[in-house]
Amino acid sequence: MTGLVKRGKTWHLRMRVPKRFAEVEPRKEVHRSLETDSLRRAQELLPAVKAGIISELEDRLTVRQGGGEVLAAQAAARVAMARGFAYRPAADIVQAPLGDLLARVEALQPQDGVEVAQALLGGGKSVSVMLSDLVETVEQFATHENRFKNDNQMRLWRNPRKRAVANLIAVLGGDREVREVDHAASLQHRVWWNKRIISEGQSIETANKDFANMAGMLRRFYESIGRPNPPEPYRKVFIKDRHKRDERKLEIPVKWIVEKWFAPGALDTLNDEARDILLISIETGCRQSEIYDLPASAFVLDHEIPHLSIKLEEGDDRREVKNPAAVRLVPLVGVALAAARRHPNGFARYRGKSSYSAAVNKTLRSHELLPSDRHTIGGVRHTWESRMVQHV
């Protein structure tokens, strides 16, 4: 295999250095031991080791050329980590035990450039990011994590974080550097939300989401620039209602579904896509978005057991599922199978949007097809769960 050479009994990677990295890597070739005498194992290891070398060279180039304080700091942290060290600002390193400083110096190799020394010895600039830029900055750090999200899912990821930052800026009376957000600021944020809850009837859950989003963004920001012992200004900041009981969406009674929704012509007020999404959700217990966001390839109707394939989707049809447990094959039977066969390519009208639930709830409520004002079509999932429990 190209790139593999054997020295004694051990296989090594041998890779030409791309010209674009000449500024940070003077060698024409890089050699790296794969620490195995097995050709098969060496072939398996080669792609990942090569990718790791390219990734480090990219980071070194970013540190050398800049490209934004935050990105350069993030790259420096990764370079240090690749050499077995956590990134530390120079001021922290000089106060650390002498052995730590010497270990960092000894880790430097003759061919290393100034960017590696900067990463290991904390020579980078102090990162300055304003609160108003925090969401965009964190989004850059989360690019890989969010790679499966479609445009609508990214909007739903981004908007509550923007709201949390905007609320904090309002609390503090103006924009300021992220590093200036301390515990006192988070307590001001909580007081502000308490007042809104009392005077405006705002939701405690919404307030706590604000705090959680701020905590998550600050944690990711400090981790990405390798700050040691990062502050946690939102630690234990939340609002608790000791009188609140945990409630889930009300189930739609099976009798109601059979007598009201399955009555001839009852769902004719819905467009054909909305109707069939609802029918599939009744019979499968799938989340609504799991149905209307699916690409055509997820409708497997020519199989011995027709089913929906719910998984992470990439490319033009990219879509993130809620969690690993949500990746599954869902058998199609009864009204769900009939509905899927009417839409073998999925539901283009609602794919990548968030308009389905509100539109269907409004239509059903206006035609008195919901049991009460507190019921929504979201309760169909819980109806299905209860039906399954009854048959266990």
Residue 128's pLDDT is: 72
Q: Quickly count: other Cβ atoms within 10 Å of residue 19's Cβ.
A: 8
The tally of CA atoms less than 13 A away on the side-chain side of residue 370 is 19
Q: What is the pTM of this model?
A: 0.70
In a domain, 233, yes or no: no
- Going by pLDDT thresholds of 50, 70 and 90, the confidence category of residue 227 is confident
Domain count, the chain: 3
State CA 71 to chain mean position distance.
19
In a domain, 99, yes or no: yes
| Position 341 pLDDT exceeds 70 | yes
| Same-domain check for residues 40 and 93 | yes
Q: Quickly count: other Cβ atoms within 10 Å of residue 136's Cβ.
A: 13
Greater model confidence, 95 or 106:
106
In a domain, 229, yes or no: no
| Same-domain check for residues 362 and 311 | yes
| The token pair that represents 346 in the structure block | 């999925």
Rounded Cα–Cα distance for residues 341 and 380 (Å): 21
Nearest CA-CA partner of 225 in 122, 130, 145, 146: 122
Most confident range (mean pLDDT) of 54-58, 70-74, 282-286 is: 282-286
Residue 115's pLDDT is: 85
In a domain, 363, yes or no: yes
| Domain extent at residue 207 | 131-224
Q: What confidence tens digit (pLDDT) does each residue in 151-202 have?
A: 999 999 999 999 999 999 999 999 999 989 999 999 999 999 999 999 999 9
Residue 86's pLDDT is: 73
Mean pLDDT within 350-372: 94
The CATH number that applies at residue 366 is 1.10.443
Q: DSSP for 131-170? A: GGGHHHHHHHHTTTTTTT--HHHHHHHHHHHHHHHHHHHH
Q: Quickly count: other Cβ atoms within 10 Å of residue 76's Cβ.
A: 26
DSSP state for residue 5 in the 8-state scheme:
E
66-70, 118-122, 216-220, 255-259: segment of lowest average pLDDT: 66-70
Residue 244's pLDDT is: 76
Q: Is the dihedral of CA 271, 149, 296, 262 positive or negative?
A: negative
| Same-domain check for residues 195 and 277 | no
| Same-domain check for residues 60 and 186 | no
Mean pLDDT within 257-274: 95
| Same-domain check for residues 363 and 269 | yes
Name the amino acid, one letter, at 90.
A
| Position 1 pLDDT exceeds 60 | no
| Same-domain check for residues 157 and 193 | yes
| Same-domain check for residues 349 and 269 | yes
**pLDDT above 90: percentage of residues in the chain:** 59
